[in-house]
């Protein structure tokens, strides 16, 4: 990988997303810390930078098409390409979900909007940037709950 290699990780402000960003950064990639919460995204960026990673917070709410489009436009204008997209952002629905037979429809819609439709929206928006890279990769992170 070259020093100009670029990766976007959605939901990179904590957990698996943060660790993926850290590991890609250790490999020398520039990482875009996709996070819907600006404060959390900025803290993650700072923490990654403290670890020696070239990290930059990118405002991105996968459930908001305008946010997704703005993120793609920003990456395009600032970098012109994207080598790696890690679709990591996801939610469980929380404890109030209960058993599948008791899960409120509103919670299911929110989970699907984030975990399914968000992946499609981000992937579709980033495809033109990924096509600018010689060997782009898309990684979709999932869980038993999402399955």
CA–CA separation, 137 vs 46, rounded Å?
26
The dihedral through the CA atoms of 15, 57, 84, 116 has a sign that is: positive
- pLDDT of 16 higher than 90: yes
pLDDT in tens, 64-107: 999 999 999 999 999 999 999 999 999 887 776 777 778 888 98
Give the count of domains, the chain.
1
Please, which pLDDT band fits residue 1 given cuts at 50, 70 and 90?
Answer: very low
Q: Is the pTM of this model over 0.75?
A: yes
Q: Quick one: average pLDDT of 14-35?
A: 97
Its domain, for residue 55, covers 6-140
Chain position carrying tokens 């790696």: 84
Q: Does 55 fall in a domain? A: yes
Q: Does 1 fall in a domain?
A: no
Q: Across the chain, what does the average pLDDT equal?
A: 92
Q: Tell me, what's the pLDDT at 100?
A: 73
Q: Note the pLDDT of residue 2.
A: 44
Q: Does residue 146 fall inside a structural domain?
A: no
- Taking the C-alpha atoms of residue 58 and residue 44, their distance in angstroms, rounded to an integer, is 11
Mean local confidence (pLDDT), 54-66? 98
pLDDT band (50, 70, 90) for residue 144: low
CATH of the domain at 92: 3.40.50.720
Residue 39 lies in a domain: yes
């Amino acid at each position: 990988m070259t020093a100009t290699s670029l990766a976007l990780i959605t939901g990179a402000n904590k957990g698996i997303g943060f660790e993926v960003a850290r590991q890609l950064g250790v490999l020398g990639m520039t990482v875009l810390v996709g996070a819907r919460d600006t404060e959390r995204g900025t803290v993650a960026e700072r923490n990654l930078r403290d670890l020696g990673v070239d990290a930059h917070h990118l405002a991105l709410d996968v459930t908001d098409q305008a946010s997704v489009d703005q993120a793609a436009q920003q990456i395009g204008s600032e970098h012109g390409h994207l080598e790696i997209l890690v679709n990591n952002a996801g939610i469980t629905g929380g404890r109030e979900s209960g058993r599948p037979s008791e899960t409120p429809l509103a919670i299911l819609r929110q989970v699907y909007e984030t975990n399914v439709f968000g992946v499609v929206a981000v992937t579709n928006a980033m495809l033109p940037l990924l096509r600018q890279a010689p060997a782009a990769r898309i990684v979709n992170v999932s869980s038993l709950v999402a399955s």
